[in-house]
Structure 1
Amino acid sequence: MTNTSTIARGGGASPAPGRRRQSSQRPAKASGLPAWVVPYVLLVPGLLVIAALLLYPLFQMVVMSFQKVGLRQIRGVPAEWVGWDNYTQIFDNEIFWSSLRNTVGFAVVTVSLTLILGTAVGTLLNRLSKRMSTFVVVGIMSAWAVPPVAQGVIWRWLFDADAGMINWGLNLLPDWFSRLLFGRADWTGEPWLNDALSTYLVLIITVVWASFPFIAVSVLAGLKGIPAELYEAARVDGSSAWRTFRKITFPLLKPVFAVLTILSIIWNFKVFSQLYVLMNGPTNREAFNLSMFSFAEAFRSPPKMGTGAAIAVVLTLLLLVVTSLYVRQIVKTEEM
């Protein structure tokens, strides 16, 4: 009787257990956005920063490359559209082609030396004890931490014709040994930074000295992830050090080498600060690279910022082509 009246009044009846669990496990909505939209919304702040710091200046550079921008435009006169004239001028200029040769040649030599030296040092660090490895890493990373301008100042002083330590050290060599190696014995007053070839020799030393520590530490980090059992098995099989590197280390570190190669190509193609300091400004046109040529055209009197922007666009496109071809080759190799 009581049960019947209670049910009739709508009270006392509890919902089914299964129905209660279902309602309690239903997730509460944090926002009105669909779940697939949330990751894209979170990416918006980063994309806005990239657009403000990278894409907008790049867009302005491309626009300026089709304009005539000089002193009058700096003073407020509207820029004049000249179409492809800036590109025609730089392609007809012999300095552009010599700068392109210097840029590509320097990048090829420096990237190769940096990767070889960095890999060798990284492999050596992997064989040292933990304390000694840490000590060496701190020592070499101090070179990588030196700002580019300071790098140029250091090596410009070392190769100075009158007070440089390089000429002083070469003069300490026995005359017969110096003649055997270099064909000369007296190095007093040798002007290393007056000739384009010797300037790039100093620049290669400067950039490799500052760049190989990053490669070495990156290779060391990759080597720490390779199982030690593989090397033990190689030693048991009597494999030589070079064969072990070629069959085990290099294949497993291919992704690391791929990233390091691309970064090295980008960094070395657009080297500017070190070359500027070594040459004491855009003085020797034979030693220009594309970055220095772009700077000289844009800011040296009379300023031609449109032409400088056109050179910068060509350098950017060249970097995109080189890196895309390299990445494509890496992808093909991985698929095979």
Structure 2
Amino acid sequence: MATTTESHTAPPAPTGAAARPPRRARRPRRHGHALPYLLLLPATAVLALVLGYPLVRLVIISFQDYGLRALFTGVITWAGLANYQAVWQDPQLLPVLARTGAFCAALVAGTLVIGLLVALMMARLGPRMRTAVTLCLITSWAMPPVAATLVWQWLFQPVYGVVNWLLTQTGLFGDLTQHDWTTSALSAFAIVWLLVVWQSVPFVALTLYAGLSQIPRSYYEAAAIDGAGAWTVFRVITLPFLRPILVLVTILSVIWDFNIFTQIWILTQGGPGGGTTTLGIWSFTKAFSGNSFGQGAAIAVVSVLLLLVLTLYYVRRLVRSGEDL
């Protein structure tokens, strides 16, 4: 039986236009790649004008001999690093730095702990009670700092203060009707701490509650089936999900609490005996009470640099926590 083999011959090579290699498809040009930057340009210009110019002006004043003579004569001399040297050699520098850091840490810790507890409570409440708590938080958060501080001052006022009257009625601490809370640095910081934490907790609580609402319920159901306790569920499920949000609110709290000025100035004005003087208060008194605007500006620049270092540290942690998720 004869077998036939088929011969496979290659097709003839194309000639002319058919011999050219196919052209690569051109990618469409992105005509709108600059549109997002154009849309951000107005906001960037406003921020540069509102925030950038005062900051640049502050740095310039910190290198000048700017005092009463400069205000009246208009003649400003260049001082170089003299203002920074005076601030560095001032004996108040280290106590003020330590006081500012300790007070900022206490404020941030209290705000985060209480805000987290309020957020966990809101997650367990029903819709009506949760709405009521949310309205109370927003109302306290929306209150202007000056108005809130004046109300706080009235609450802790000697003779007519509501807090003194209530504590006296309990009989636990004796007669506190005449007690002045601003005569001691510790008690003065305590009432300022209560005021600032009361104003800061709403933002932290609402932000953390928003993060809690995004955790899938299936994780908690699986933990309940495995018999995990409340602390284990919080440590293994809730806390890892909230870590990026906790870092974010920590950054914002550090920025806000490090620069606190209004509450301290209205309640104590840095007293008694400078016991509640932070960097913000020290910069203000140096510039306007001591008539040394150059040194006041130098203190403010140092505050900005310290805050920048802290912010960069927490931003790096925020980026790393986002990459780990």
TM-score (norm 1): 0.83
Query: 2:203 aligned with 1:206, yes or no?
Result: no
State the shift of 1:34 in Å: 4.7
Identity of aligned residues (%): 40
The residue type equivalent to 1:324 in the other structure is L
CA deviation profile, 1:82-116 (whole Å, cap 9, x unmatched) = 11111111122222322212211111011011001
Query: 2:72 aligned with 1:75, yes or no?
Result: yes
1:95/1:286 contact within 8 Å kept? no
State the shift of 1:42 in Å: 2.8
1:282/1:292 contact within 8 Å kept? no
In structure 1, the residue matched to 2:62 is: 65
In structure 2, the residue matched to 1:15 is: none
The residue type equivalent to 2:40 in the other structure is L
Change (3 A) 1:153 1:280: farther
The residue type equivalent to 2:85 in the other structure is T
In structure 1, the residue matched to 2:3 is: none
Query: 2:141 aligned with 1:144, yes or no?
Result: yes
In structure 1, the residue matched to 2:224 is: 235
Task: After superposing the two structures, state which structure 1 stretch, 209-218 or 284-293, moved more.
Answer: 284-293
Query: 2:88 aligned with 1:100, yes or no?
Result: no
Change (3 A) 1:161 1:130: same
1:117-132 residue pairs with structure 2 within 5 A?
117-132=114-129
State the shift of 1:283 in Å: 6.8
Structure 1: 5+ residue stretches without partners: 1-26, 179-183
State the shift of 1:311 in Å: 0.6
1:282/1:296 contact within 8 Å kept? no
Pick aligned residue for 2:296 from 302, 308, 317: 308
Instruction: Measure, in 1, the Cα distance between the counterparts of 2:48 and 2:78.
Output: 25
In structure 2, the residue matched to 1:323 is: 311
Q: Give the alignment's Cα RMSD to 1 decimal.
A: 2.1
**SS across alignment from 1:252:** helix
CA deviation profile, 1:18-61 (whole Å, cap 9, x unmatched) = xxxxxxxxx9x9xxx95433333333222211110111111110
Query: 2:261 aligned with 1:272, yes or no?
Result: yes
Change (3 A) 1:276 1:113: same
Query: 2:251 aligned with 1:254, yes or no?
Result: no
How many matched pairs?
Answer: 298
Query: 2:35 aligned with 1:46, yes or no?
Result: no
Query: 2:185 aligned with 1:188, yes or no?
Result: no
In structure 2, the residue matched to 1:90 is: 87
Change (3 A) 1:146 1:35: closer
CA deviation profile, 1:254-310 (whole Å, cap 9, x unmatched) = 12111100000000000000111101577742211110111111111x411111110
2:61/2:297 contact within 8 Å kept? yes
State the shift of 1:76 in Å: 4.6
Instruction: Measure, in 2, the Cα distance between the counterparts of 1:138 and 1:41.
Output: 38
Task: After superposing the two structures, state which structure 1 stretch, 161-170 or 286-295, moved more.
Answer: 161-170
1:64/1:309 contact within 8 Å kept? yes
In structure 2, the residue matched to 1:112 is: 109
Instruction: Measure, in 1, the Cα distance between the counterparts of 2:104 and 2:40.
Output: 34
State the shift of 1:328 in Å: 2.2
The residue type equivalent to 2:311 in the other structure is T
Pick aligned residue for 1:161 from 150, 158, 162: 158
State the shift of 1:75 in Å: 2.8
In structure 1, the residue matched to 2:7 is: none
Pick aligned residue for 1:297 from 286, 289, 292: 286
Runs of 4+ in 1 over 6 A off after TM superposition: none
TM-score (norm 2): 0.86
The residue type equivalent to 2:147 in the other structure is A
Instruction: Measure, in 2, the Cα distance between the counterparts of 1:40 and 1:322.
Output: 29
Instruction: Measure, in 2, the Cα distance between the counterparts of 1:331 and 1:40.
Output: 23
Instruction: Measure, in 1, the Cα distance between the counterparts of 2:61 and 2:77.
Output: 10
Change (3 A) 1:157 1:269: same
State the shift of 1:161 in Å: 2.1
The residue type equivalent to 2:302 in the other structure is V
State the shift of 1:221 in Å: 0.9
In structure 1, the residue matched to 2:169 is: 172
